[in-house]
Amino acid sequence: MPQIRLQHVTKRFGKAIAVDDLNIEIGDGEFVTLLGPSGCGKTTTLRMIAGLETPTEGEIFIDDVCVFSSEKGIDISPDKRNVGFLFQNYALWPHMTVYKNISFGLENMKWDKERIDARVKELLTMLRIEEFHGRYPSELSGGQQQRVAIARTLATGPKILFMDEPLSNLDAKLRMEMRTELKRLHVETGSTFVYVTHDQLEAMTLSTKICLLREGLLQQYEPPLDVYHYPSNYFVADFVGSPNINAIEMSGEQVNLDEIKLTSEDLNLLYTPTTSSITIPKGKKLLLGIRPEDISIVEEGTIDAVIYSTLPSGMETIVKLEIGKLLITCVVFGGVDFEMGNKVKIAFDAKSYVLFDAESEKNLASGTLS
């Protein structure tokens, strides 16, 4: 059974619609990331599940208990939903030690001292902050404060943990470390994590499922690699992936049952759909989506290109290529570099390239190119 269920949830602020008819189910023990650009409704969604924001319409269930219903007039308060909330600014008590910050909620719940001490020590060990138990928040780094905030939130044993951009205040190195810790913590606790971010790399690396929103509307709700390889539309394809997917405007024409001729000013390609059978009328405007890692620079390549720029980073090199007037991005793995202006040959020899309808931007099919 799903642990969290949203049915036809809508939130309006005046005439503005922040979340529009959202229907999702979050399974027990999942790590679901609400992803999207600023203003897409992800934080509003999180706050509605937690009970910090009241939906305009719809129903929300936690463990099969209706915690909100606009029709039935149900609105259970946040403290009775058995959820923990981790804020962006940590919200630690500055006058309390690390130990007291973690134990505070348990003291309010009238736990006995031995039980509180055992639970705090368990969390100090789990979050690897044992040596900081007597320090105050001002004496800790950002990453250490974050760990204390997580320990405090986990102290009361919530079945569901909500996190709203909890790593955004940390530097890049600490963010990477904390991602590792959060993923480990998710497995160790067995809790359900619901996480808000606008960082697609964070969503890809942490989640069991990504819920991608745009202007309050659900775009796709699937595991990260499915979102990456089988995007429901061009917005999803462009939002997820770094460097961004190449989108080449093409004109289509069906040449036989299973092949489509794609033409542009600089490219002539033959496309074979592999995920679904599609029929393309002559002259149909299409977008061909090519991931940068699916372009090979090889001597036996069939397409001429010129090196426009390179960005080597050691592990990989991001290369901009010119094909006539067309500029595309590719990724070459390994410590290699290229001279700007050099002529090279490229090939589209991967197994999956995505074809979108240029007007609706919907995914039509994945397929191969020749």
Q: Determine the average pLDDT of the residues in 41-49.
A: 95
> Residue 226's pLDDT band (boundaries 50, 70, 90)?
very high
Cα 100 from Cα 340, distance rounded (Å) = 59
Query: Taking a C-beta distance cutoff of 8 angstroms, is the pair 4, 34 a contact?
Result: no
Query: Taking a C-beta distance cutoff of 8 angstroms, is the pair 331, 316 a contact?
Result: yes
Query: Taking a C-beta distance cutoff of 8 angstroms, is the pair 122, 105 a contact?
Result: no
The one-letter code for the residue type at 118 is A
> Residue 82's pLDDT band (boundaries 50, 70, 90)?
confident
Query: Taking a C-beta distance cutoff of 8 angstroms, is the pair 27, 207 a contact?
Result: no
Phi first, then psi: what are they for 284, rounded to 5°?
-60, 130
Q: What was the pLDDT predicted at 304?
A: 93
Q: What was the pLDDT predicted at 89?
A: 73
Mean pLDDT in the chain? 91
> Which domains does the chain carry?
2-239 (3.40.50.300), 246-369 (2.40.50.140)
> Residue 59's pLDDT band (boundaries 50, 70, 90)?
very high
Residue 46 scores a pLDDT above 90: yes
Strands ordered across the beta sheet of 160-164: 83-86, 160-164, 192-197, 31-35, 209-214, 217-222
pLDDT in tens, 99-123: 999 999 898 888 989 999 999 998 8
Residue 76 scores a pLDDT above 70: yes
Q: Determine the average pLDDT of the residues in 156-184.
A: 85
Q: What was the pLDDT predicted at 291?
A: 95
Residue 247 scores a pLDDT above 80: yes
Residue 227 scores a pLDDT above 80: yes
Percent of the chain with pLDDT over 90: 59
Q: Determine the average pLDDT of the residues in 152-165.
A: 87
Closest CA to 132 of 102, 174, 165, 112: 102
Q: What was the pLDDT predicted at 48?
A: 95
Q: What was the pLDDT predicted at 2?
A: 65
pLDDT in tens, 261-278: 999 988 899 999 988 888
- List, as one string, the DSSP characters of 48-112: HHHTSS--SEEEEEETTEEEEETTTTEE--GGGTTEEEE-TT----TTS-HHHHHHHHHHHTT--
Here the tokens at position 238 are: 């462009």
DSSP SS3 for 288: strand
Q: What was the pLDDT predicted at 347?
A: 92
Taking the model in full, what pTM does it have? 0.88
Q: What was the pLDDT predicted at 27?
A: 94
Q: Is 109 exposed, middle or buried (0-12, 13-18, 19+ CB in 10 A)?
A: exposed
Q: How far is CA 52 from the centre of its chain?
A: 23
Q: What was the pLDDT predicted at 1?
A: 55
> Residue 52's pLDDT band (boundaries 50, 70, 90)?
very high
